[in-house]
Amino acid sequence: MTTITGKDRQTKPHRLDVERVRNDFPILQQRVYGRPLVYLDNAATAQKPQCVVDVIGEYYACDNANIHRGVHTLSVRATNSFEKARGKVQGFLRAARPEEIVFTRGATEAINLVACTYGRANIRKGDEILISAMEHHSNIVPWQMLCQETGAVLRVAPMNEAGEFLFENYQKLLTPRTRLVGMTHVSNALGTIIPVRAIIEEAHRRGAIVLVDGAQAVPHLKVDVVDLDCDFYVFSGHKLYGPTGIGVLYAKYDLLKKMPPYQGGGDMIRSVTFEKTTYNEVPYRFEAGTPNIAGAIGLGAAIDYLEGVGMDKIAAYEADLLDYATEKLTAIPGLRILGTAREKVSVISFVLEGVHPHDIGHILDQKGIAIRTGHHCAQPVMDFYGVPASARASLGMYNTRREIDALVEGLREVTEIFR
C-alpha cells in the first residue's frame, strides 16, 4: 500500500479522466433544487456506476434463482456468478484463496461475526481487547458487548490533536493479556490512515490477533491482506461503489477452520438430524440462509470497474483533490478542520464558528450540495475535539475541483447568513 503525498503528487500525475468517470454514474446527472447535484457524502455511501446497476438488473431479469445445490440452469448460472464474485474479492484483497472470503451484510456484521465466533471461543475473563480512539461505533460496540459477556477488558489507544495514531502509546498498552486488536485502517470521521502494518507486527509479536476495519480504506487504497498479515479484514460493498446489503469478511484460512458457526440454517450445513448437525466447509458454514446474491454479483462488478479505472490513478487524483479542498476550506473565516494528519484520504470533517453542522447541511442541500452532518458514528472522536457534531465532506473519484468551489461558495454564504 502506498500513500501519494508531497513530491510524489507532483511527479506522478493522476491521468484520471474524471469527466469520463462521471458519465458512468447516472445519479450524478440529476439536479437538486434546480442545481446540479454535488455529491460529497461518499464516506457514508458511494454512488454506483451504470455497470453495477446493469448487472444487478440482469441477474434479476435473466438468472434469478437460489444458489448452491440446484441442478437447473438458472441455479447453476446464479451460483457461478456468485462464486465468481467471491474470486473477484479474493483478487482485490490479494487473499491467498477464495475460501478466505465470507460474504456478510456489511462490515458491521463481519465484525460482529468475529466477536461472536472467534471472540466467544477465545476471549476469557481478564483478557484485553485493544482498539483505537478513532473507531467507528461498529468497531467499538461489538467488543464492548463481548467484554460484558466474558469479563474481558476494553483498552483504547489514543490519538493526538492532528488525529494521528500514537504508536508508542499503543505499544505500551499491549500486554501479555492482549488477545485481540481491532483497528480501523482509515478513520471515517477524520480520514486518517492508520499504520496498520506496524500495528499488526507489534500485536503478533505479543501473541495477539488483529482485525482491521477497512470500510473507509478500500475505496481509496490498494490493500494486500497477505502483505499486511492481518488475521481479519472487513469492508462494506456500498462504500466501494457497489450495492448496499453486501459486505466481506476476510480471515486467514486456519482461523476460519477453527471458528464455530455464526448462525444456523440452510447452506451452512452438510447434514442435519434431530440428534446431530454436521457443518459445511468454510466459507459456507458462515453464510447461513439465502445470501444477497445480487449484491455479491454487483460488488464483483464494482471491483471490475475500479480495477479498470486503476486504484493508483484514483489514489493520486483524490490526493490532489484533497489538497485543493483543504487549501480552499482553510481560507474560510471561522472554519476549523478536525484532523490534519499528514497521511489521510479524501475525508474532511469541519466545524464553522457559530453555526450548527445541521444548519450547514440544510443550507447546502438547498444548493444541491450533499454532505454529512452529525457525529458520523464516531462519538468518541467528536468528544475528543469537544464538539457535539461536525460537517463532513468526503470525496470520491468522480468529484471535481468545480464541486469543491461550489462547496466553498456555499459555506461562505452560510457564514454571511449567520454573521
Assigned C-alpha cell, 76: 447453476
H or E element that contains 77: helix 73-93
Start-to-end C-alpha separation, the chain: 45
| Residue 6 DSSP SS3 | helix
How far is it, in rounded angstroms, from Cα 250 to Cα 129?
Answer: 20
Q: Which of 42, 14, 134 is nearest to 347 (CA)?
A: 42
Is 377 one of the annotated active-site residues of the chain? yes
Q: What is the DSSP string of 10-34?
A: HHS-----HHHHHHT-GGGG-EETT
Residue 154 and residue 143 in contact, taking contact as beta carbons nearer than 8 Å: yes
Find the catalytic residue in 62, 116, 230, 377.
377
Which residue, chain included where needed, has cell 440482469?
Answer: 58
Q: Which one, of 84, 140, 68, 116, lies nearest residue 290 by Cα?
A: 68
Asked if 22 and 211 count as a contact pair (C-beta separation under 8 A), the reply is no
Q: Identify the residue whose cell numbers are 477453527.
A: 258
List, by residue number, the catalytic residues: 377
